[in-house]
Amino acid sequence: MNDENFKNTCLASALACISDALLRPRHAAIVQRHLQLFPSEGRSELTCYYLDSIVCSQLEYIIFHDKLFLALIETKSNKMPSISEIVNNHKPDLGAYEELYKWFHAHPELSFCEKETAAAIAKHLATFNAFDIHAHIGGHGLAAVLKNGTGKTVLLRADIDALPVQEQTGLEYASTKRMQDVEGVEKPVMHACGHDMHITALLAAAETLVRARDAWSGTLLLVFQPAEEKGKGAQAMIDDGLYEKIPIPDVVIGAHVMPEKAGVIGTKQGLIASSADSYLLNINGRQTHASTPHRGIDPIVQAASTILRLQTIVARETDPLDFAVVTVSAMHAGDAENIIPGTAELKLDIRAARPATRSRLLDSVRSIVDAEALASRNPHSPQMTQIRQFPLLFNDATVTAAIESAFHAHFNGVAKEVGVVYTPDIARLQGSEDFGVLATAVGRPSCFFLYGGTEERLYERLEGEGRMDEVPGNHSPFFAPAVRPTLRVGVEGYAVSAFAFLGKVDV
């Protein structure tokens, strides 16, 4: 090997060592640019200096005339840490948060009835001695503010309500609770959609950010939102003056646990959740004795015909490549075997992934409902009353790109060693969310990331056996996230996404 080749080999080895030692390829690029300014004759003299200094972590440049010497000098006070270093060094004991999660799981509350849940959240936040807490916003909604110097204002959101589901997980901490909903009807209650995980993850992320406040600058907002399952909680908080109580954010960030494998976390630019429109359909017929059907107008037969015909909207009117759902999820009519009732009720759920599709679905539903009334000789057009409404949810490209960069560096870097996998193109929700209202109400961009909760061995076994439909999904009575791996990813997801905008750190 000639002298020039030897010099180049030494230089390449030195640069590789620097990159590995620092875990920052960016520094190696800086070194390369500076070396190009100096004569190649002096470069071979770099090697011995590198090898003696390779364990240090701060680059300094010492220039003597035509020769450049690069020294790696450990100066911790000047070191700019990465997001991963900050999160890993300041994250609290998750064992304590596992117990908190189990408490929330065992004490669920229905939409607009989250009094005990909100009180527990406020009590825990108060232990940080850092936040200004605002309670009772839009019902039992809660917001907290931590001002920490100049910089961006970042809002992190978690939803807090549970579902009218009878839990069947068999967990030691399973919910056995029953309570009255806002209409006074007693129902079983379960955190079957993972909102207990969202609450706990955001509280632990908040503690991480409080502990690490010397590493970031800006304003942190936390929003614990009620009544997401009704599609009304976010708007209720807005209408009750949320942004008169807290600053308007620059960025709004939310998350949801999914029936994906625990350890998976992902983002997706653009559409992330479908729209949803839910209706109560009242069919008014004419009551009569079961032996004289010709004297009445049977709302049950009309309802049955309507249900069947509604299925053709997706099957025969919608492009198979276009996402659309029309579901009849409830039917109630009559209570005596010898009486044709005078009324019947249906509950409909309509979902779409495009505004044009959404509009067409709603028009088709209305047309079929009216046409089936005419076919039943019913002079009364059924009444459609909207129960819930969720807008399409879009992730802002710029905000999502920033979070993608931070997630890739963290989850596919240090965190990947313990089984966490980040994907920038995770499958979007077929379900719906009112999270976006918190952003669109004030014209701000948002990002909603997703993470898995299914126990790894269960997921892989069912996947290998081709039985993925048996993975307990959101709203299932068997929905039970694997606590530690799910919580860890949720906490880090919230914290890392906040650090992506709050400055003072390298990705």
Do 172 and 126 share a structural domain?
A: yes
Write down which residue in 390, 424, 443 finishes a domain.
390
Last residue of a domain, one of 26, 61, 78: 78
- List, for residues 401-454, the tens digit of each pLDDT value: 999 999 999 998 755 666 789 999 999 998 999 999 999 999 999 999 999 999
> In the predicted model, is pLDDT for residue 176 greater than 70?
yes
3-class SS letters over 327-367: EEEEEECCCCCCEECCEEEEEEEEEECCHHHHHHHHHHHHH
Clarify whether residues 110 and 222 are in a common domain: yes
User: What percentage of the chain reaches a pLDDT higher than 90?
Assistant: 81
Q: What is the CATH number of the domain that holds 365?
A: 3.30.70.360
Parallel, antiparallel, or unpaired: how do β-strands 270-273 and 393-395 relate? antiparallel
Q: Write down which residue in 78, 102, 121 finishes a domain.
A: 78
Q: What is the pLDDT of residue 430?
A: 87
Q: Are 280 and 248 contained in the same domain? A: no
Same structural domain, 222 and 110: yes
Nearest to 341, CA basis, from 280, 282, 284, 281: 284
Whether residues 123 and 250 share a domain: the answer is yes
Order of all β-strands in the sheet with 141-148: 132-137, 141-148, 218-225, 153-159, 251-261, 446-454, 264-266, 421-423
- pLDDT for 506 equals 54
Three-class DSSP category at 69: strand
Is residue 280 one of the residues assigned to a domain? yes
Question: Which is higher by pLDDT, 251 or 24?
Answer: 251
- Whether 495 is in a domain gets the answer yes
146: left (phi over 0), alpha (psi -120 to 50) or beta: beta
DSSP E strand boundaries for 56-149: 59-64, 67-72, 132-137, 141-148
- pLDDT, position 414: 58
Does residue 455 contact residue 260 with C-beta atoms inside 8 Å?
A: no
The reply to whether 331 falls in a domain is yes
Nearest to 314 by CA among 278, 361, 347, 349: 361
- Domain assignment present for residue 507? The answer is no
Question: Same domain for 32 and 111?
Answer: no
pLDDT in tens, 359-385: 999 999 999 999 999 999 999 999 999
Q: State yes or no: pLDDT of 24 exceeds 50.
A: no
Q: Give the per-residue pLDDT at 400.
A: 98
Q: How many domains does the chain have?
A: 3
pLDDT per position as a tens digit, 137-156: 999 999 999 999 999 999 99
Same domain as 349, residue 436: no
State mean pLDDT over 350-354. Answer: 97
Assess if residue 155 is contained within a domain.
yes
Average pLDDT, the chain: 88
Two structure tokens written together for 273 = 């959740």
Which pTM value belongs to this model?
0.82
Same domain, 44 and 151: no
By residue range, what is the domain housing residue 20? Answer: 3-78
Query: Confidence class of residue 19 from pLDDT cuts 50, 70 and 90?
Result: very low
Nearest to 144 by CA among 170, 122, 165: 122
Helix axes 115-126, 94-106, angle to 10 degrees: 160
Rounded average pLDDT over 203-221: 98
Please check whether residues 340 and 214 belong to one and the same domain: no
**pLDDT one-digit tens code per residue, 232-269:** 999 999 999 999 999 999 999 999 999 999 999 999 99
Q: Does residue 252 form part of some domain?
A: yes
92 and 105 in one domain? yes
Cα four-point dihedral sign 448, 453, 456, 461: negative
- Whether the pLDDT of residue 324 is over 60: the answer is yes
CATH number for position 137? 3.40.630.10
- Do 381 and 469 lie in a common domain? no
Indicate whether 377 and 435 sit together in one domain: no
Contact yes or no for 253/317 (Cβ under 8 A): no
Compute the distance between CA of residue 156 and CA of residue 125 in angstroms, rounded to an integer.
Answer: 14
Query: pLDDT tens across 69-127, in order?
Result: 343 333 334 557 899 999 999 999 999 999 999 999 999 999 999 999 999 999 999 99
Instruction: Note the pLDDT of residue 23.
Output: 43
297-314 pLDDT, tens per residue?
999 999 999 999 999 999
